[in-house]
Amino acid sequence: MKTPETLAFECETGNYHTFCPISCVAWLYQKIEDSFFLVVGTKTCGYFLQNALGVMIFAEPRYAMAELEEGDISAQLNDQKELEKICLQIRDDRNPSVIIWIGTCTTEIIKMDLEGIAPKLEKQIGIPIIVARANGLDYAFTQGEDTVLAAMAHRCPEYKHCTTNLKNRTDEMARIDNHTTNKSPFEASKLTRFNLVLFGSLSSSIASQLNLELKRQSISVSGWLPSQKYEELPGLGEGIYVCGVNPFLSRTATTLMRRRKCKLVGAPFPIGPDGTRAWIEKICSVFDIKSYGLENRESEIWENVKDYIQVINGKSVFFMGDNLLEISLARFLIRCGMIVYEVGIPYMDRRYQAAELLFLQHTCRKMKTPLPRIVEKPDNYGQIQRMHELKPHLAITGMAHANPLEARNIDTKWSVEFTFAQIHGFSSVRDILELVTRPLRRRGVITPGFRSLSKQTTGD
Amino acid sequence: MKLAYWMYAGPAHIGTLRVASSFRNVHAIMHAPLGDDYFNVMRSMLERERDFTPVTASVVDRHVLARGSRDKVVSNISRKGEEQRPDLIVLTPTCTSSILQEDLQNFVDRASLYSESDVILADVNHYRVNELQASDKTLEQIVRYYLDRARKEGIFNRSLTDVPSANIIGILTLGFHNQHDCRELKRLLGELGVSINQIIPEGEFLNNLKDLPRAWFNIVPYREIGLMAASFLEKEYGMPYISTTPIGISNTADFVMQVEKLMNFWATVLLGKKFHYDQYVENQTKFVSQAAWFSKSIDCQNLAGKEAVVFGDATHAASITKILSGEMGIRVSCSGTYCKHDAGWFNEQVQGLCDEVIITEDHTEVGDTIARIEPSAIFGTQMERHIGKRIDIPCGVISSPVHIQNFPLGYRPFMGYEGTNQISDLIYNSFNLGMEDHLLDVFGGHDTKGISTKSLSTGGKSIDWTPEAESELKRIPGFVRGKVKKNTEVFARQNNILKITVDVMYAAKERRSIESLA
């Protein structure tokens, strides 16, 4: 099959659905253990957090709404005084190390000067306040994390050069190792220290797995953005290399490069064994290290998951677009032998994702499959019409469309599950495949005769 | 600005969308930024809808803000009109886009020039009313729109139906057990000889609305939604309505007697006869419903004098308070509602039935009250269920806000005589009772709280965990930790590994076999 050499991008600017970017609060408040997230918005924002995300408050949460009322909107109340009242209450009740204000569409529209107020209040209450504008006017779903990390990058301490003093260097290394990985430096003697900071929020166990993978290549990671604790943010500055683990962090990448003078390692993302290998190899190449054992490691993983691959090989998949992980997942699934009809994506930063896009083309050539159609800001209605014609085996879709598509005999998987599941690194490959194959395996396990009962097709 | 962790009632646009998407062949356009359209997710997931939710967001982004949104909204309205040919398109902003102070009525006027569908703007103040008030208002607006038009066009048949009939007003999507209540109401009315003229908004076509006034009377089962439409119909078309909620034995009896009164108003003239339901009520109460007997039975002896706290929407909280104190002899220490706008009615209803009344939208206030009173059981919303979990007090959920648990596949009405059975079960099962109570006291409960990390009893040599691996194990969530530990040890044994390091853990994870998962 002949494949076009270049990727075609379309931008439909349609009516599409994703979650609001403030949803990042749901995972970031758990990731940054000493933080407090304050969403400055309306009832609409609050109801979203409690309802659509299913985030129920079991105990005292570390996030809350500063709910804007009519007086705030009509500027009868003083924003600074109101926020002061709320932040003092938060300080007294929870005493967090940092308060993160999440600006919303409403604060954008009424032009509330959060960035202006924060420094004043910060002094007054003695707790750092970070302002992130995770609004739906500019961003989609996972990009909320991008706005928070970009804002947080400004608060990372300045990295100090100490290349001359060898003793200092080892001391610092030990310190950072303890902070970031909680491991005894049993391999430390072999390690070469590089100034590598990784960005993107991953569960601590996945983060330490990636640390370990790099350690195997004798690269020690000097820190993560975000860190587990606000006070442990990694030092940034000239001479620091940064590398992202998630495709939706373009703004953070830009901030790290332009404002903090870091060097960005542009790699594909460590999703799938192919992506993880490429990611590690790219980092190694930047530090001029010859990677070893990765090819074996990758093929070993493929060998381990071949039972899953059998389930999806030759099947087709359609990404409606939701969480910006679509390109990486599509690339991985193509490598697994799937045919990707369409990759919908809310926003496509072609520079930040350049390595991933190149890798996608490379993978398509390798697997001899056509390049998928990439549609930015897709029109959901149009996509459903296209799906009627293409009849994909699997649609990866937002929650609003899953049940109706199932009713139309198209197997679905919620895209949001890939946002919350552990999908990074070699050891998560099985988890991704577990998610992807579940709807298809279900088809297999239900006795054929009963099938017609469970799948009902609505008239369309 | 106020600090808020949770809210009982949603924002106004949710109410509007619930009404719009309950009617048949109505499409709603939300003029809103990306992410405000989570209504579609809620409806699709909670109601397990097979069809796409007929709500489309006309996305407001920076470009739209800069250029003005009229063209986009108008073109989206006409596009939906062509694509799906709805009878009506309802335009609604959200809290966010309503601040833009655009002349949305003008958008709607413009769009109706091009569209074959009717187009209206939901007329709601997004900062002053909540979900419940907004749905009440939108339902009234739509009813008024179609009746006024029918009157103007003279296609109106105002004669009463030949057989006695009623409209049920206020059954809608994402309501708390609405579908089940509706089915039970239909059954009840059927047994009383009342046919259903229309049920709005759920499943009704707008073209039929012109026949609404042909019913003999209206029924508003939940006072949160439907009262405005009912009083509009009363004022303009002289239709009486019943707003008593038939939840509980005595309320249901009261409801039936009101039906009798309204039936006989016309029946004597039109049918030349009178209806008498007292026999029916007695029969149902004594022999059909189990609730009345149940509350007399020995089972319920232990309930007498137990204390409970009730909290929910006005309809449910008031009804359950009446049942607990009036029908089951349970002492209601505190009864409350988050429907602040209906405080007067609520106070009147629960007067004399409880020790104190709480009317608030602040769940912490409710939580504090519960903690202070320490009742034996709570009847509240999902929030009170969580509060109860934290302080170890059982809670039966009796009111919205809705949760996936309020959409059971089985039949669980709250209304009518079957409802009384369901509620009795709910109440009875919410208390720790009788012998169970004693046994729990003696043996300290049947749940152990510790995290189980029981080691595998395969004998053989024990396996060491390095401190790093152990601390890694601790990071794994408790509910799977035991399994991970077991799998890793099995893997280590198979590979003759004596000491488990972090590497071994990951290797074990990578090798998990498909059989163990499938």
Q: What is the pLDDT of residues B415-444, one digit of tens each?
A: 999 999 999 999 888 886 555 555 555 554
Q: Are A208 and B503 within 8 A, CB to CB?
A: no
Considering the domain architecture, whether residues A336 and A266 belong to the same structural domain is answered as no
Q: Do A69 and B1 count as a contact with CB atoms less than 8 A apart? A: yes
**Chain B residues with CB-CB distance to A381 below 8 A:** 56, 83
B425 in a structural domain: yes
Domain ends where: B286, B320, B336? B286
Is A390 within 8 Å of A318 (Cβ atoms)?
Answer: yes
Say yes or no to pLDDT of A52 above 70: no
Residues of chain A contacting B36 with CB distance shorter than 8 Å: 20, 44, 48, 105, 136
Q: Is the pLDDT of residue A126 over 80?
A: yes
Same domain, A307 and A253: no
Tell me which of A255, A287, A319 is where a domain ends: A287
Tokens of A24: 């990042």
Q: Would you tell me which residues 390-419 of chain A have a C-beta closer than 8 angstroms to some C-beta of chain B? A: 398-404, 407
**Last residue of one domain, picked from the residues B397, B413, B443:** B443
CB of B57 within 8 Å of a chain A CB? The answer is: yes
Cα B448 to Cα B131: distance, rounded to the nearest angstrom: 41
B22 belongs to a structural domain: yes
Give the per-residue SS3 of B209-253.
HHHHHHCCEEECCCCCCCHHHHHHHHHHHCCCEECCCCCCHHHHH
Catalytic residue status for B162: no
What pairing do the DSSP bridges indicate for beta strands A219-225 and A241-244?
unpaired
Using the Cβ of A136 and the Cβ atoms of chain B, whether some distance falls under 8 Å is answered with yes
**Residue B453 domain-assigned (yes or no):** no
Contact check, Cβ <8 Å, B96/A105 = yes
Task: Return d(Cα A165, Cα B19) in angstroms, integer.
Answer: 71
Domain ranges, residue B94: 12-129
| Alpha-carbon gap, residue B93 to B103, rounded angstroms | 11
Tell me which H or E stretch contains A101. strand A98-103
CA-wise closest residue to B330 among B301, B357, B350, B352 = B301
Q: How far is CA B470 from the centre of its chain?
A: 45
Number of domains in chain A: 3
Contact status of B442 with chain A (Cβ, < 8 Å): no
Q: Which domain holds residue A376?
A: 294-453
Q: Is A365 domain-assigned? A: yes
CB-nearest to B100 from A109, A138, A458 is A109
Residue A384 belongs to some domain of the structure: yes
Q: For residue B209, is it within any domain?
A: yes
Task: Give contacts of B7 with chain A, Cβ < 8 Å.
Answer: 43, 46-47, 50
**Shared-domain flag, residues A34 and A123:** yes
DSSP per residue over A39-72, as a string?
EEE-HHHHHHHHHTT----SS--SEEEEE--HHH
Mutate to test the interface with A, among B18, B24, B34, B473 (most CBs of A within 10 A): B34
Do A312 and A433 have their domain in common?
yes
Specify if A44 maps to a domain. yes
- Chain B CB contacts of A93 under 8 Å are none
Nearest CA among B313, B322, B327, B300 for reference residue B430: B300
Is the CB of A82 inside 8 Å of chain B's CB atoms?
A: yes
Contact B95 A106 (CB under 8 A): yes
> What is the number of structural domains in chain B?
4
A254 and A340 part of one domain: no
Task: Say if the Cβ atoms of A58 and B382 lie within 8 Å.
Answer: no
Which residue(s) pair with B92 in the sheet? B30
Confidence of residue B509 (pLDDT cuts 50, 70, 90): confident
Do A206 and A124 lie in a common domain? no
Q: Is B239 annotated as a binding residue?
A: no
Q: Are residues A110 and A42 in the same domain?
A: yes
Q: Is there a single domain that holds both residue A345 and residue A327?
A: yes
**Contact call for residues A413 and A396 (beta carbons, < 8 A):** yes
Question: Would you say residue A185 has pLDDT above 90?
Answer: no
Q: Any binding-site annotation on B434?
A: yes
* In-domain check, residue A103: yes
Could you say which of A287, A316, A334 is where a domain stops? A287
Residues A257 and A351 in one domain: no
Question: What are the DSSP calls for A324-373, one per residue?
Answer: S-HHHHHHHHHHTT-EEEEEEES---TTTTHHHHHHHHHHHHHHT-PPPE
- DSSP secondary structure code for residue B341 in this structure: G
Q: CA-to-CA distance for B431 and B436, rounded, in angstroms?
A: 10
Residues B346 and B435 in one domain: yes
Q: Does residue B271 share a domain with residue B230?
A: yes
Q: Distance of CA A413 to CAs A58, A202, A410, A418, B421, Å?
A: 27, 21, 10, 9, 39
Specify whether B407 is located in the same domain as B475.
Answer: no
Domain CATH for B220: 3.40.50.1980
Question: Is B379 contained in some domain?
Answer: yes
Are B266 and B322 within one domain? no
Q: Which two tokens stand for residue B47?
A: 């109601």
Residues B439 and B304 in one domain: yes
As a whole number of angstroms, the distance between CA B517 and CA B457 comes to 22
- Mean pLDDT over B300-312 rounds to 87
Hey, which residues 465-484 in chain B have their CB within 8 Å of chain A? 467-468, 471-472, 475-476
Average pLDDT over residues B373-401: 91
Closest alpha carbon within chain B to A184: B468
- The answer to whether residues A428 and A305 belong to one domain is yes
Nearest to B164 by CA among B192, B142, B145: B192
A225 Cα to chain B: minimum distance (Å): 19
From B299, B441, B464, B503, the catalytic residue: B299
Q: End of a domain among B129, B150, B185?
A: B129
Q: Is residue A253 part of a domain?
A: yes
Residues from chain A contacting residue B99 (CB–CB below 8 Å): 73, 106, 109-110
In this structure, is residue A385 part of a structural domain? yes
Q: Can you spell out the DSSP letters for B73-127?
A: HHHHHHHHHHHH--SEEEEEE-HHHHTT---HHHHHHHHHHH-SSEEEE----TT
For position A307, which CATH number holds? Answer: 3.40.50.1980
Domain final residue pick, A139, A162, A186: A139
Residue A300 near residue A394, CB atoms below 8 Å: no
Do A427 and B45 lie within an 8 Å CB cutoff? no
B45 with B111, same domain: the answer is yes
Q: Judge whether B422 is closer than 8 Å to chain A, CB to CB.
A: no
Residue B31, min C-alpha distance to chain A (Å): 11
Interface of A with B in 216-275 (CB under 8 A): none
Chain A touched by B60 (CB under 8 Å) = yes
Q: Which two tokens stand for residue B70?
A: 């009229």
Q: Assess whether A263 and A308 both reside in one domain.
A: no
Measured between alpha carbons, how far is A129 from A112 in angstroms, rounded to an integer?
A: 16
Q: Are residues B392 and B260 in the same domain?
A: no
Residues B430 and B470 placed together within one structural domain of the fold: no
What Å distances lie between residue A218 and A6, A191, A284, B335, CA to CA?
36, 5, 9, 65
Residues B298, B257, single domain; the answer is: no
Residue B453, SS3? coil
What's the confidence (pLDDT) of residue B430?
A: 84
B56-92 pLDDT, tens digit each: 999 999 999 998 899 999 999 999 999 999 999 999 9
Q: Are residues B273 and B338 in the same domain?
A: no
The residue of chain B with its CA nearest to that of A380 is B56
Q: Is residue B4 part of a domain?
A: no
- Measured between its terminal Cα atoms, the distance across chain A in Å is 34
> Which helix H or strand E contains B139, and what residues bound it?
helix B131-153
pLDDT band at B461 (very low <50, low <70, confident <90, very high): low
Chain A's closest residue to B43, CA to CA, is: A400
The per-residue pLDDT for range B119-144, each reduced to its tens digit, is 999 999 999 999 999 999 999 999 99
Average pLDDT over residues A275-285: 96
- B435 is known to lie in a ligand binding site: yes
B348 in the same domain as B298:
yes
Distance of alpha carbon B379 from alpha carbon B324, whole angstroms:
10
The reply to whether A371 and A272 lie within a common domain is no
Q: How confident is the model at residue B482 (pLDDT cuts 50, 70, 90)?
A: confident
What pLDDT score was predicted for residue B263? 94
A208·B502 Cβ contact <8 A: yes
Mutation choice for A interface testing from B24, B52, B62 by most A CBs within 10 A = B52
- Is B395 among the domain residues? yes
Q: What are A386-396's pLDDT values in tens digits?
A: 999 999 999 99
Look at residue A146 and tell me if it is in a domain.
no
Residues of B in contact with A47 (CB under 8 A): 7, 10-11, 14
- For residues B315 and B273, membership in a common domain is answered with no
| pLDDT given for residue B421 in this prediction | 93
Q: Give the distance from residue B471's alpha carbon to the nearest chain A alpha carbon, in angstroms.
A: 9
Residue B48 lies in a domain: yes
* Amino acid, res. B303: L
Q: Note whether B46 contacts A: Cβ–Cβ < 8 A.
A: no
Q: Which range (A369-378, B13-22, B71-80, B388-397) has the least confidence?
A: B388-397
